[in-house]
Amino acid sequence: MRWFQRGKSGLLRHTEGASAVEFGIILPVFLFIVCGIMDFGNLYYQTHLVNEAARAGARVASVDQNLANADADVGTEIHKFDPKLTYKVSPSPPVSGGDVTVTVSKSITYVTPLVKNYLPANFTTVTGKSVMRVE
């Protein structure tokens, strides 16, 4: 089936295939946006993960009765979230009546290969930090 449209001069013009060309122009932009949304969602999830791991680790360090072993207990709690998380407890061991700071970080990689080709590899490290008073 052939489609014809009236042009500016009033003559009939052949328009078959115009939608295929438009689709070909829009598709790469649409895919890049969808892949960006997926990678941004992963970044948001990982940020939430390290913040929650830091909070849980600081809570363990603040209520742990065995302050000399607090660093190992914090590590056990943090690695329940993700074994790839790195953490730092300051001061180590925590001092009773003082503050303990737990900092958790993780290197983020891209989920989609399309975004990976246009942006630098391992573009960011997300960090979560929590401070609590030692009981």
Reported pTM: 0.73
Q: Which of 123, 42, 131 is nearest to 82 (CA)?
A: 42
Count of domains forming the chain = 1
SS3 state at 71: helix
Radius of gyration of the chain (CA): 27
Q: Which of 32, 50, 53, 24 is nearest to 110 (CA)?
A: 32
122 falls within a domain:
yes
**What's the Cα-to-Cα distance from 73 to each of 5, 31, 54, 60, rounded to whole Å?**
74, 44, 13, 7
- Residue ranges making up the domain that contains 43: 17-133
User: For 112-126, what is each residue's pLDDT tens digit?
Assistant: 877 777 766 666 788
Rounded Cα gap, residues 55 and 31, in angstroms: 36
Fill in the amino acid letter for 56: A
Rounded Cα gap, residues 35 and 116, in angstroms: 10
95 falls within a domain:
yes
pLDDT in tens, the chain (135 residues): 555 565 566 555 666 677 888 889 999 899 889 888 988 898 899 999 999 999 999 998 888 777 677 778 888 889 999 898 999 988 877 778 888 899 999 988 778 877 777 766 666 788 999 998 887
85 falls within a domain:
yes
3 falls within a domain:
no
